[in-house]
Chain A
Amino acid sequence: KAGVTQTPRYLIKTRGQQVTLSCSPISGHRSVSWYQQTPGQGLQFLFEYFSETQRNKGNFPGRFSGRQFSNSRSEMNVSTLELGDSALYLCASSLAGRGTETQYFGPGTRLLVL
């Protein structure tokens, strides 16, 4: 079975721009969660989608948004980028949800905001 894939792997943007990151979960997995990882804040939960519906949301500003498609692929969008958005963005998929079972992580997208 193919693992979780994320594209792009690396991204450089400037302040004020917007960015869209993509995540393809393991086949059959309906839950996709997104995390932001920085040296200072660690792993912070952004949001979880299950069957195209946002099920949970972390404490991030509205500039961070996401969606999930009928094939379970998910995208997250960050608008009006700030320097502090530089981070490794990880997505993870699971069959039923992040609180109940193992999550399978993708390799991440490293975003640098200049």
Chain B
Amino acid sequence: SQQGEEDPQALSIQEGENATMNCSYKTSINNLQWYRQNSGRGLVHLILIRSNEREKHSGRLRVTLDTSKKSSSLLITASRAADTASYFCATGSYNNNDMRFGAGTRLTVKP
């Protein structure tokens, strides 16, 4: 069963704009990860943020985590057409070594 819920389900923006995707979850976690999937292919890991961290950056990506609200956001700055993909959040728990994916946000960046 899925735990994370991404919001919005779909997002369409112009090249150069910023894209923000949100993820909410229900149970306590040890880490939260964001993955990207290009159409019909495998997932690519983007960033992992641990429960004791609040913000993390990687290139044009910025991830925040608010454990009190059980939510995370992924910001992609200065988007490019190549960023067009589906983005998934996944919550990890050391307890029974569990990891659950959300339904994903479909991002379209128009050139």
| A binding-site residues for B, Cβ under 8 Å | 4, 33, 35, 42-43, 45, 48, 55-56, 59, 88, 90, 92, 97-108, 110
Contact = CB atoms under 8 A, between A and B. Distances in A.
B30 A99 contact: yes
A102 B94 contact: no
Nearest to A97: B97
Interface residues on B, range: 20 to 34
16 contacts: A33-B99, A42-B2, A42-B104, A43-B88, A92-B43, A97-B97, A98-B98, A99-B30, A99-B92, A99-B97, A99-B98, A100-B30, A100-B31, A103-B33, A105-B44, A108-B40
Given A101-B92, A108-B41, 20 more contacts: A4-B42, A42-B2, A42-B101, A42-B102, A43-B101, A56-B98, A90-B42, A99-B92, A99-B94, A99-B97, A99-B98, A100-B31, A100-B97, A102-B48, A103-B43, A104-B45, A105-B44, A107-B42, A108-B40, A108-B42
B96 interface: yes
Contacts of A43: 2, 88, 101, 104
B45 A102 contact: yes
Interface string B39-53: 011111100100000
Contacts, number: 67
B64 interface: no
A45 B88 CA distance: 14
Interface of B: 1-2, 30-31, 33, 35, 40-45, 48, 88, 92-104
Nearest to A6: B42
B48 A98 contact: no
Given A43-B88, A99-B99, A110 B33 contact: no
A102 B32 CA distance: 10
B7 to A, nearest CB: 14
B41 A101 contact: no
Given A42-B103, A43-B101, A48-B97, A100 B40 contact: no
